[in-house]
Structure 1
């Protein structure tokens, strides 16, 4: 492995993750930007030179390693400097240099290490066929040298090589290809896993952003609608009925205080990811608060319960509360009716919600974003439920939601 710089040596600069000054992390190793793999290449070159020298002592029938032989070894190792930029020319070049080294009768040994490294680099970058052809050409050339061309090549008086040695040579070629292919497959698997983890992280981040956006929309749309209505009432009655105007201002203060508290609770999750919320999520036990806020906005709400009321999972409670809240907000903003009816029907495996108003639609807007119905559908779909919203035959408007509850979830 190439030398890995410390963070003190490579201060962080602007750029993509993994970029540190003149260094970058690529393919699991550190290298200089625009640089070459000097360290690993020098290590391979020294190993091949030293190892070939020792191997020559035990091969009396081969030509002693001289300046030309060492030059060929250095040339083959030096070509590895370009193995990341030009893997195909390098693997063929190293195979050719190795074949020339063997043709001149120099001893067998670590010279094949350079071939293996070049082959790994080619396969690693997707040039499998080039690596196969280079190794196949090297093996075929060795057959020609050892069994037919030996009489024309050094050393003098050399005879044909025994055919039995070709089996280990073929096994060596197959082992190199198998190891390179295994490394390629593992690398592709790691890359796929990294991509899947990155996609999952992005998906979780998107889901969290969507959740926060829904929470902020529901909180602000409801509270600001109440504030908008009460501000209009206060302005209209400021001179004629100061007492009623004061009541409107009191409602505005209470609604804004509650909205600030809920917004702060949502934003706390951004400041401290993973921390437990300081306050429990809203649930249907706060339905009376919605009724009071609607009454402050001039809307009379009748709440009814069908079936045996029971505590539901927090996610279902929150979704039901927000759906009712958004539906009542829409009545305040868009309906000419001053009455609404909320029905909670507890079934054995589902909670059904129904919010009705008499209409008609006014076409007005109290500063909403228009994402209320979409947010309600997203909340219901996240729990596997359904929601329907539309006009009634008599001209009113109805929101109907069904949120499934598994028996084991309901205490």
Structure 2
């Protein structure tokens, strides 16, 4: 069986036309020269030996018989491009061959191969119709028309022979159906694996985008505030302006490091990170950074021992909430409360407001990212204005990882 041409870049393989060695690639089909020549030669040679063993029973092979054998075999050259036409064409050639009284032999192989290919390519009814037509024609010739057809003096064929022929037809059809079913199953499995790979790639891109947003939004907010302080005090208080510039330098260096870590993960999926992922152990650092941006933060409660994914999500939730207070709230005071039991860590971040723009609590991307983080772990995020003014973020994250994350 011939190998199919390698598809051009960007082309898609259509399953309907079957496996690679008999499928289309665009409008180009590999011509099966070698297999066609081998089958045709086998049919011609095998029929010659069959004729020698049936000298007294069937008509001898002549030029017309060999022409029919050659036509039946040569049609297989088009079995990839026109499977239905070839199935009926080979059946018709074999029917004429049998009707002329020529010897039984491997000529049936041409019909078997053409119908096998047609079924696997998806043309099931046509293939079954071609095989059924051949069998019915054989019954008609062997039990009625034999009186008027060569060889002379021929008698009706035994019905047991017809049962054997019918059994072979059913066996060939059943094998073809089995192959077709298995190929379709493999194609579905390949498509499922491809969809799963695309889904994992999408989830990884979303994770990286969320991580970059959280790192950059927080860092740039602190840098923006410190830059404003430095500009305001540049002439009146140079020392304080120097402190602001030092904070900007440290924060930008930290942000670059975290961004580099995220990008390293993108370039080498599955590689261990060079630095540990941040967690609530760095909460005092967040509080200090918020203080340098003019936001006083009170922290209540203790941090339990958390899985790495939950620890990172909790850190990012607090980081995003404090960043939103700095950027979108007129309040200079925020409260972070941590509470936990054996299953859930609850985080509450409050500020007293008022909002300094239309995007109270954030522009939407940060809140969406927090909700996606929590949902991925089996937790929840609630965020919105408080009845007495200000804004509140409530997070509930699992203390123990989900079974499928272990």
| Same topology, TM > 0.5 | yes
Aligned-pair distance for 1:345? Answer: 0.8
Distance 1:401 1:408 in 2: 17
Pick aligned residue for 1:63 from 59, 63, 67: 59
Aligned-pair distance for 1:157? Answer: 1.5
Aligned-pair distance for 1:221? Answer: 0.5
1:143-176 deviations in Å (ceiling 9; x for gaps):
0111111121111221111111111101001001
Pick aligned residue for 1:276 from 264, 272, 278: 272
The answer as to 2:42 corresponding to 1:44 is no
Q: Residues 216 and 266 of structure 1 are in contact (CA less than 8 Å); yes or no, is this contact kept in structure 2?
A: yes
Aligned-pair distance for 1:56? Answer: 2.1
Q: Residues 18 and 120 of structure 2 are in contact (CA less than 8 Å); yes or no, is this contact kept in structure 1?
A: no
Distance 1:347 1:407 in 2: 14
The answer as to 2:166 corresponding to 1:174 is no
Quote the residue 2:365 is aligned against.
371
Secondary structure of the structure 2 residue equivalent to 1:402: strand
Distance 1:295 1:49 in 2: 94
Distance 2:363 2:330 in 1: 19
Quote the residue 1:387 is aligned against.
381
Distance 2:401 2:226 in 1: 43
The answer as to 2:348 corresponding to 1:354 is yes
Aligned-pair distance for 1:4? Answer: 6.7
Residue 365 and residue 220 in structure 1: after superposition, are their counterparts in 2 closer, same or farther (change >3 A)? farther
Residue 408 and residue 226 in structure 1: after superposition, are their counterparts in 2 closer, same or farther (change >3 A)? closer
Residue 82 and residue 275 in structure 1: after superposition, are their counterparts in 2 closer, same or farther (change >3 A)? same
Residue 336 and residue 369 in structure 1: after superposition, are their counterparts in 2 closer, same or farther (change >3 A)? closer
Quote the residue 2:48 is aligned against.
53
Pick aligned residue for 2:396 from 402, 408, 411: 402
Distance 1:300 1:169 in 2: 92
The answer as to 2:78 corresponding to 1:72 is no
Aligned residue pairs, count: 395
Residues 124-139 of structure 1: pairs in structure 2 closer than 5 A: 124-139=120-135
How much is the aligned-residue C-alpha RMSD, in angstroms?
A: 2.3
Pick aligned residue for 1:249 from 245, 249, 254: 245
Distance 2:169 2:149 in 1: 24
Residue 179 and residue 144 in structure 1: after superposition, are their counterparts in 2 closer, same or farther (change >3 A)? same
Residue 263 and residue 408 in structure 1: after superposition, are their counterparts in 2 closer, same or farther (change >3 A)? closer
Residue 332 and residue 299 in structure 1: after superposition, are their counterparts in 2 closer, same or farther (change >3 A)? same
Q: Residues 18 and 122 of structure 2 are in contact (CA less than 8 Å); yes or no, is this contact kept in structure 1?
A: no
Q: Residues 386 and 402 of structure 1 are in contact (CA less than 8 Å); yes or no, is this contact kept in structure 2?
A: yes
Quote the residue 2:19 is aligned against.
27
Quote the residue 1:21 is aligned against.
none
Gap runs ≥5 in structure 1: 19-24
Q: Residues 3 and 39 of structure 1 are in contact (CA less than 8 Å); yes or no, is this contact kept in structure 2?
A: no
Q: Residues 346 and 395 of structure 2 are in contact (CA less than 8 Å); yes or no, is this contact kept in structure 1?
A: yes
Distance 2:358 2:159 in 1: 95
Residue 30 and residue 270 in structure 1: after superposition, are their counterparts in 2 closer, same or farther (change >3 A)? farther
TM-score by length of 1: 0.91
Distance 2:141 2:337 in 1: 93
The answer as to 2:301 corresponding to 1:305 is yes
Residue 91 and residue 145 in structure 1: after superposition, are their counterparts in 2 closer, same or farther (change >3 A)? same
Aligned-pair distance for 1:381? Answer: 0.5
Aligned-pair distance for 1:235? Answer: 1.3
Gap runs ≥5 in structure 2: none
Distance 1:59 1:191 in 2: 46
Distance 2:122 2:138 in 1: 26
